[in-house]
Amino acid sequence: MLPPQEDRTESGVRMVVTLEDAPWLGWVLVRALLRFALMVANNVCALPSYVFYVIVLQPLRVLDRQLFWYIEGLMYKWLIGIVASWGWYAGYTVMEWGEDVKAISRDEAVMLVNHQATGDVCTLMMCLQDKGLVIVQMMWLMDHIFKYTNFGIVSLIHGDFFIRQGKSHRDQQLLLLKKHLENNYRSRDRKWIVLFPEGGFLRKRRETSQAFAKKNNLPFLTHVTLPRIGATKIILGTLVARQENGAPAEGGAKELDSKSKGLQWVIDTTIAYPKAEPLDIQTWILGYRKPTVTHVHYRIFPIKDVPLETDDDLADWLYQRFIEKEDLLSHFYKTGAFPPLEGHREAVSREMTLSNVTLFFLHSFTFLSGYMWYNIMQYFYRCLF
């Protein structure tokens, strides 16, 4: 029997264990160990299999580059689906609000997302699963430290960009980002980019942001921080199709052909956790926190409404988006719901669900692939030695 709710902390685990709590705590620990074992097994099978498939498909990359990156993107989506399933089975679900981003899933767009914890990425992995080919054709911008995680090799192959934080690296990183977009974005048929403009977690940047706001007579923000402009400026400047006499201007990302209209939308994405208690990746994997519904709010802006003439205009526009995020989150933490916004459709909540049939297929395919590649490697090893 579970102990009374009031006997647990908000994170779902008591600091002082009584005899009454022991069975419940024991079950939490056993479940966490089982989930961790499943995660390890997933990684051992899935990640090497992905790499081997990509190696085997290299001739296709020469013959039909677009088909190669489509197949690679499908495998990438399946891997992300497996990560999403870890939270799904633990009861960590998503409620979506605001405008329907699935309607623009075929267009090029950049998502501007507030950043609170590592669980933000997992949340996006879950709520974008049913958005057509978005994940297949998506590029992530993430901190360079993720390059050295178990998923780093997959992100490197897929063409995600790892950005190094800090003033000493900023100018160089922005140049590298521009070059990366020019070389990898349209050549790999990418459509969406996920960006966290705050440049770090809320808890780490809040005081610095508030000091900057006070110094520059900007609003005092609590639930978000003032965004950094650099990466957003590079993305928009590189991918937006400039118009001159009705035709795209010279420059911009490589391979802007007649089929591409350039970047068309900015999706202002706001993630909110109940009681402002964000999930981290450890919780997502181990599942020791009680079931939680994370709320994600979308607002869609046509690129023509984004001022690109000067850096100051873009900065003011981006600051305004995060001021609105602050108001959205303040309202959510008070009422448990997002309000409708002027100029956008009325906010209608919809629950995000994952298909258990699809997840069963993904896990089965993962383990069968791991078994197949293990036997192939064993065969070659015996032949060579």
DSSP conformation class of 200: S
- H runs (alpha helix) in the chain: 22-56, 58-63, 65-89, 119-127, 152-158, 167-184, 202-215, 230-239, 281-286, 311-335, 356-384
Distance CA 50, CA 79 (A): 9
Q: Is residue 321 part of a domain?
A: yes
Residue 1 belongs to a domain: no
3-state secondary structure of 253: coil
Question: Does the residue 6 lie in any domain?
Answer: no
Q: Rounded to the nearest 5°, which phi and psi values hold at 173?
A: -65, -35
Question: Token match 């020469």: residue?
Answer: 62
Q: Which of 230, 219, 332 is nearest to 271 (CA)?
A: 332
What is the model's pLDDT at position 112? 96
pLDDT confidence of residue 353:
86
Q: Is 161 among the domain residues?
A: yes
pLDDT at residue 18, as a whole number = 64
Specify burial of residue 178 (Cβ count, 10 A radius: 0-12, 13-18, 19+).
middle
Q: Which residues pair with 294 in a beta bridge?
A: 94
pLDDT at residue number 372: 95
Q: How many domains does the chain have?
A: 1
Q: What is the pLDDT of residues 215-254, one digit of tens each?
A: 988 889 999 999 999 999 999 999 997 654 333 444 444 4
Please list the pLDDT of the chain residue by residue as tens digits (385 residues).
Answer: 334 444 444 444 444 556 666 776 777 788 889 999 988 999 999 999 999 999 999 999 999 999 999 999 999 999 999 999 999 999 999 999 999 999 999 999 999 999 999 899 999 999 999 999 999 999 999 888 888 888 889 999 999 999 887 777 788 889 999 999 999 999 999 999 999 999 888 888 889 899 988 998 888 999 999 999 999 999 999 999 765 433 344 444 444 454 567 899 999 999 999 999 999 989 999 998 889 999 999 999 999 999 998 899 999 999 999 999 999 999 999 999 998 877 666 667 788 888 889 999 999 999 999 999 999 999 888 888 7
Residue 97's closest CA among 276, 309, 383, 346?
346
Q: For residues 69 and 61, what is the distance between their CA atoms, to the nearest angstrom?
A: 8
Burial of residue 319 (number of CB atoms within 10 Å: 0-12, 13-18, 19+) = middle
- Does residue 13 belong to any structural domain of this protein? no
Q: Say what the pLDDT of residue 193 is.
A: 95
Q: Which of 192, 188, 95 is nearest to 134 (CA)?
A: 192
Structural domain of 118: 19-384
Residue 46 CB-density burial (10 A; 0-12 exposed, 13-18 middle, 19+ buried):
buried
Task: Answer whether residue 4 is part of any domain.
Answer: no
| 123 in Cβ contact with 272 (< 8 Å) | no
Residues 236/308, Cβ–Cβ less than 8 Å: yes
Region of 280 please: left (phi>0), alpha (psi -120 to 50) or beta. Answer: beta
**Does some domain include residue 14?**
no
What is the rounded CA–CA span in Å between residue 321 and residue 306? 11
What pLDDT is attached to residue 12?
44
215 found inside a domain:
yes
Residue 152, beta-bridge partner list: none
Q: What is the pLDDT of residue 380?
A: 87
Structure-block tokens of residue 212: 């900057």
Reported as a single tens digit per residue, the pLDDT across 147-198 is 888 888 999 999 999 988 777 778 888 999 999 999 999 999 999 999 999 9
pLDDT given at position 164: 82
